[in-house]
Amino acid sequence: MMSKENQTDIRVTCAIIERDGLVLAAQRGASMRMPLKWEFPGGKIEPGEGAEACLHRELREEMGLSVVVKRALPPSTHRYPAFTVNLYPFVCAIRSGEMTLNAHHAVVWLKPDDLPTLDWLEADLAVVEAYRQGLSLPTGIQNKKP
């Protein structure tokens, strides 16, 4: 039997998009849960969907971008009072598309060392640190189907 706590687990992917030595950060919309906080773009994994497939779908829907995944970072878990986020991060590069902001208020390109200056979602803070420390999953392990 699934506990009530497990029913509030949310599986989410996010993209650390690199370009010319900079990293993309996105600011949540004013009407979203946790408004105007900064995050790496991505979204919720649908039932039966793999993490990488989710990442590609969400970036097309929310930003009009197609990306190539370069590597996966270690998953992280963050417990908010009402729910738990299981976050599956991927380092990516833009393959094609013109960026549009269909879900976010703003975006900014930053040097990796400047990432901590933003007001991040708590769940993304561990991803910021893992990225800045150069962590990645061991070769051959990917976040395809969590």
Q: What is the pLDDT of residues 1-20, one digit of tens each?
A: 344 444 589 999 999 999 99
Looking at residue 140, what is its pLDDT?
Answer: 46
The residues, ordered by sequence, that sit 6+ positions from 10 with a Cβ below 8 Å of its Cβ are 44, 83, 84, 85, 86
Write the CATH number for 76: 3.90.79.10
Tell me what the mean pLDDT of segment 97-118 comes to: 96
Local structure of 146: helix, strand or coil: coil
The reply to whether 145 falls in a domain is no
pLDDT at residue 29 greater than cutoff 80: yes
Q: What is the mean pLDDT of residues 55-79?
A: 96
Question: pLDDT at residue 138 above 80?
Answer: no
pLDDT digits (tens, 9 = 90+) for 37-54: 999 999 999 999 999 999
> Whole domain around residue 124: which residue ranges?
4-132
Mean pLDDT of the chain: 90
* Confidence grade of residue 109 (pLDDT, cut at 50, 70, 90): very high
Task: Give the C-alpha separation, 116 to 129, whole Å.
Answer: 8
Work out the average pLDDT over 99-126.
96
Residues 94 and 67 sit within 8 Å (Cβ to Cβ): yes
Q: What pLDDT is attached to residue 70? A: 96
Mean pLDDT for 136-140 is 58
Report whether 69 contacts 52 (CB < 8 A): yes
| Residue 75, domain member (yes or no) | yes
109: in domain: yes
Q: Residue 143: inside a domain, yes or no?
A: no
> Looking at residue 57, what is its pLDDT?
98
Domain count for the chain: 1
For residues 43-66, give the mean pLDDT: 97
Does a structural domain hold residue 9?
A: yes
Please name the residues in contact with 97: beta carbons below 8 A apart, sequence gap of 6 or more: 60, 63, 64, 65, 66
pLDDT at 55: 98
In a domain, 139, yes or no: no
pLDDT at 139 over 70: no
